[in-house]
Amino acid sequence: MALLCARSPLGSCGTPARGSLLFLLLSFRWVLHSRAQAADTGQDAAPWLQRTSQDLSWQQPELSVIFRRALQDTEKKACPPGKEAHVVDENLIFYKEWELEACVDGALLAKQMDRVNAIPFTYQQLDIFKRKLDEFYPQGYPESLIRHLSYFFHEVTPEDIHKWNVTSLETVKSLLKVSKRGKMDAQVAALIARYLVVGGQLDNATLDMLASFRPTYLCFLSPEQLGSVQQDVVWAVRPEDLDTCRPLQMDVLYSKARIAFQNMSGSEYFARIKPFLGGASTEDLRAFTRQNISMDVATFKKLRKEALLPMTIAEVQKLLGPNLAGLKVEEGNSPLRDWILRQRQDDLDSLGLGLHGGIPNGYLVLDLNVREALSGGPHLLGPGPALTVIPALLLALILN
């Protein structure tokens, strides 16, 4: 639980300071307070006062520097006598922020995390607790603490989670339960990734729980786990959610998407299926060429190489429509580069795009399938007046 408290430029609750005069007044007030503390502790505040008097100016930027220095100094204050915390209780609510910094230990917070979640600390106070825990566990929280985080999970970042070692499915489920409120999609994806990277397995109940979050976690799931994903998840997918998915994962997701969108047709269907086309087959791509559909280059470059290579120039031209000119930008990138290498240069020239790298005019195009070469039956893909002697073919003949 947390109580919201607006932050001012000075780092505590209150109305933001305005004007140089107010900055000066507050600065002198802080100096007097520091001087009184120095008298109590026997420390000499004169050097600090001397530096401050030299730095003070009516210019706002310089005053801001003074206050940043002051805030840094407050963080280094010693805990006042009798204020050191030995238990997490309601009294900590009334501690000033610098007192929490000085008097609360990260080990205590880890040991009594249940109490941290039960008491209505402000967000500013929870930020301090988070910082204390990070200092105590610089390599990441241990699983003994992670399983008790509960709502404190909202304070951690995906970068924090990537340091964790999560091996318990029950821990994953407990954190998913408390993540349903708030924008926790990135944290959930990181949590699932950390659990799966150590060999964890998600059951159907957990997959059902994941359906309530944005599917940024899909590419962390195995093809088998993706097969159990609900259709609602497929409907919620955005293109960027699939950026890191591997071919086998895209195969499964494309099949599920075809089923999910089967009652649609035309441009409506294409708009929905487009993020999943990295799993489409050659036959599916050819089907789109017979429809009034224009694929953008961003989608085209995510197609499977194996699905694109058999496509003819005419089919690619129909598939892209008015977007065909965008191919020039992707000329050197796969899968377009691989497709260009299989096309005749004069056919590429007919597109008027300036694409290069095709098969020169007057050459035979051979399918260099090793088995066919060894059997003495290379497959001719196109006629030509001359035969290119290819080292791979010579090697095959020698081995034969």
Alpha-carbon dihedral angle through residues 85, 88, 94, 95, given to the nearest 10 degrees: 40
Query: Which among 372, 368, 300, 376 has a CA at the least distance from the CA of 339?
Result: 300
Domain that holds residue 123: 79-137
Alpha-carbon gap, residue 295 to 194, rounded angstroms: 36
Residue 48 has pLDDT above 80, yes or no: no
Q: Please determine, for residue 26, whether its predicted confidence score (pLDDT) is greater than 50.
A: no
Residue 398: pLDDT band with limits 50, 70, 90: low
Instruction: Encode pLDDT of 156-202 as tens digits.
Output: 999 999 999 999 999 999 999 999 887 899 999 999 999 999 899 99
Domain-embedded: residue 153: no
pLDDT of residue 127: 96
Distance CA 162, CA 198 (A): 12
Helices and strands in the chain, H and E counts: 24, 4
Least confident of 250-264, 296-310, 349-363: 349-363
CA distance 196 to 174: 16
Residue 12 has pLDDT above 50, yes or no: no
Res. 281 pLDDT band, cuts 50 70 90? very high
Q: Model-level pTM greater than 0.85? A: no
Segment 258-264 shows an average pLDDT of 95
How many structural domains does the chain have?
1
**Which is more confidently placed, 30 or 136?**
136
Residue 292, pLDDT score: 85
Give a yes or no: residue 275 inside a domain: no
Cis preceding linkage at 335, omega within 30:
yes
Where b means 16+ CB within 10 Å and e means fewer, 17-31 reads beeeeebeeebeebb
Query: Given a cut of 90, is residue 384 above it in pLDDT?
Result: no
Tokens 């520097």 correspond to what residue? 65
Higher pLDDT, 7 or 231: 231
**Do 152 and 117 meet the contact criterion of CB atoms below 8 Å apart?**
yes
Residue-level pLDDT at 68 = 57
Mean pLDDT (the chain) is: 81
CATH code where residue 100 lies? 1.20.970.40
- pLDDT tens digits along 239-253: 999 999 999 999 999
Burial group, residue 101, by CB count within 10 angstroms (0-12, 13-18, 19+): middle
Q: Residues 52-79: pLDDT tens digits?
A: 444 544 455 555 555 555 555 544 689 9
Q: Tell me the mean pLDDT in the region 118-139.
A: 96
Residue 88 is assigned to a structural domain of this protein? yes
Q: CA nearest 98: which of 21, 46, 30?
A: 30
In a domain? residue 229? no
Q: Is residue 83 part of a domain?
A: yes
Distance of CA 237 to the CA centre of its chain: 15
Residue at 263 is within a domain? no
How far from 322 is each of 287, 295, 299, 331, 340, CA to CA, in Å? 18, 9, 14, 17, 19
So what's the pLDDT on residue 364? 61
Q: What percent of the chain has pLDDT over 90?
A: 67
380: pLDDT strictly greater than 90: no
pLDDT of residue 247: 94
Residue 77: its pLDDT value, please? 82
Residue 106 lies in a domain: yes
Residue 115 domain flag: yes
